[in-house]
Structure 1
């Protein structure tokens, strides 16, 4: 293995002034934050794939630089093994260059490119996401049903992550009692429709998104239109009739449903994907074939809830949405994650599909929507 000289940023700048070729081997989105003055931006993969296109002659004095010095050293080693004799790497990379007070320049970018590279820079560094994954998120469409305790944190993090189209449905208005946990809203929003307050806050966070506010009570009459074109649905509802309706509709449309619920000091999260995985993944009805008796499971307005708890559950829901959209990790399909805030304990319960489920059993014909309020007995 050829020994590659490591030089300081000052030495690299001196060699550049005397005819050396300085090449920044980072990816374009990494160079967006600034690159050494005088450097050419050529990603390491491109340089190693076809060095003769970028290096004019074997004997040219070439200095490589990256963020910290590791990738430039690896690239220099690869070039040396291809017969390039005068290759060096900058020790400490652009980080050391910046610390030394040497001049940096911003590569030419459009406003959209600059926003993309800067806003999602931490995602772009993750091999599991990268540029392709982030572009997939920007092209994704997610329905958030409810702009309350669960929908607020879920939508907030999905917008921050760059999910390109968010459709938020809710018919309620902001009440001061909501502000203890519904982080999309402020005191100035009291009295406004929640979806309008949510849209304003989300666009203030990420103005390049498409946030669709649907101020309507979700019912059998409009659920199909709400789900049209969606990739994932976030359940931020707070009543059983709506949960059963949403479950049945997601099975019919073959859309994964990210479920969440909170009560007092406890919460639960799961992913129901029975529409796409019949017989393999359970649905909400497999977990709760029948609704609880009236009064057995009071909502937040009746029982109260620790203010931070919906934030924790909504954050977990947003995490599951991103995993589904990116096709990475192990979504909570067939698993119910429960959380006890007082004991700070998580517990996982395995869920199995019910082979006799009236909605998701293999070969079962969709029976149509029912009177969910009557089915739930006023719960």
Structure 2
């Protein structure tokens, strides 16, 4: 067996000099890594495409190629692979891009502003997100219904993640009893509209995120206006009439709905996407055809809730929203995830589409939104 060829290692300064003398400097990192910055005038070719690209762009095996990666290991491996293909004038940059930047040599970045690059650098390092994914998040619009226990942590992390527009609907004001769990609000904002308090907090966290503060109760009269133009709806309420209204509107308007609920020490969440998957994915009514009587489903003000519980469920809801926006992983469609805080247990249950569902069955015509006053349920938002 032949020993692998010995590849010259050169310092960033020598690599820069060779580049100026005509050598080709090639950054072999993936595109999401190069989005964080690369050596100026380097040619970006990911290692998987390197051999095929060079066969066209640099067919002469004597072409001087200087390879650079993040720290120097991958560029060595790529150079060895090219040597095996017959390339004879190869070098690898010691310490890679990190050493190049530390040496003060010229860098360039894609056409993105420095705030974007620095703020979302950890997302840009994820190949599953990268520059394209982060731009998709920045172009997205999410409706968060409720700026309370569930909406607070969900909106906080969606804004931090770079969702471009958050439309937050809530007609309530901040009460001192909210502060135990509704982390968007502070003591000095007691009495202020929750959406105004939420906008203040979220804008301070990430001024790139546009906050549409809608100080209105969700009703049949405004539900379609609230859903207009949004990509995903997050149910952050504790209000059965609004929950059914949201479900029906999301089915009718083909919007995915990320559902969450909390009670005392337990919570649950799911993704209802029946509007886009009629007959395949269930809606909220498939699981709960009718709302329970008020005495069977007291709200947080009546039954109490462990302060951290909405944080757990709200963050899981935000996770599902990001997955939907990025097209990553497997959403909770057709599954109910239940969380028992006292036992620290997660349980999952399957839910199927009800072929007789009055809202999402494929052969059912939409009969309009039911007046929320017809339901008997608690009020509030966690």
Give the TM-score of the pair, scaled to structure 2: 0.88
1:228-256 CA deviation, whole Å, 9 max, x = no partner?
11111000011111111111111111111
Does the aligned pair in 1 maintain the 2:239–2:377 contact within 8 Å? no
Which residue in 1 is equivalent to 2:78? Answer: 75
Bigger Cα displacement from structure 2, 65-74 vs 132-141: 65-74
Measure the CA separation in 1 of the matches of 2:143 and 2:154.
Answer: 11
TM superposition shift of 1:205: 1.8
Q: Deviations over 1:145-204 (max 9, x none)?
A: 011111111111111111112111111111222122111122232222111111122222
3-state secondary structure, aligned to 1:295: helix
Q: State how far apart, in whole Å, the 2-side matches of 1:68 and 1:169 are.
A: 47
Q: How many residues align?
A: 372
Aligned to 1:219: 219
In the TM superposition, 1:161-200 aligns within 5 A as 161-200=161-200
- Separation (CA, whole Å) in 1 of partners of 2:344 and 2:106: 48
Quote the Cα distance in structure 1 between the aligned partners of 2:89 and 2:194.
64
Q: Check 1:271–1:349 CA distance in 2 against 1; reply closer, same or farther (3 A cut).
A: same
1:284 equivalent in alignment to 2:287: no
* Structure 2 segments unaligned to the other structure (5+ residues): none
Verify the 8 A CA contact 2:174 2:194 in the aligned structure 1: yes
Mapped partners of 1:339, 1:265: distance in 2 = 8
Distance 1:91 1:378 in 2: 65
RMSD: 2.7
**Cα deviations across residues 311-346 of structure 1 (Å, max 9, x unaligned)?**
110111011111111222111011000001111000
- SS for the counterpart of 2:352 is coil
Contact (CA 8 Å) 2:37, 2:109: kept in 1 or not? no
Q: Which residue of 1 aligns with 2:329?
A: 329
Q: Is the 8 A contact 1:31 1:41 kept in 2?
A: no
Matched, 1:94 2:97: yes
Alignment correspondent of 1:113:
113
CA contact (8 A) 1:31 1:107 kept: no
SS of structure 1 residue aligned to 2:144: strand
Give the conservation status (yes or no) of the 8 Å contact 1:181–1:310.
yes
**Correspondences of 1:1-379 after superposition (within 5 Å):** 3-5=5-7, 7=9, 11-14=11-14, 16-17=16-17, 21=23, 22-26=25-29, 30=33, 40-45=41-46, 50-51=53-54, 58-59=61-62, 61-95=64-98, 102-107=103-108, 112-376=112-376
Q: Give the CA deviation at 1:31.
A: 5.0
TM-score by length of 1: 0.88
Shift of 1:23: 4.3
Alignment deviations for residues 263-311 of structure 1 (CA, whole Å, 9 cap, x no partner): 1111000011111111111111111112112221111111111111111
Give unpaired runs (5+ residues) of structure 1. none
Identify if the C-alpha distance between structure 1 residues 4 and 364 changes in structure 2 by more than 3 Å, giving closer, same or farther: farther
**Secondary structure in 2 aligned to 1:155?**
helix
**Using a 3 Å threshold, how does the CA distance of structure 1 residues 16 and 281 change in structure 2: closer, same or farther?**
closer
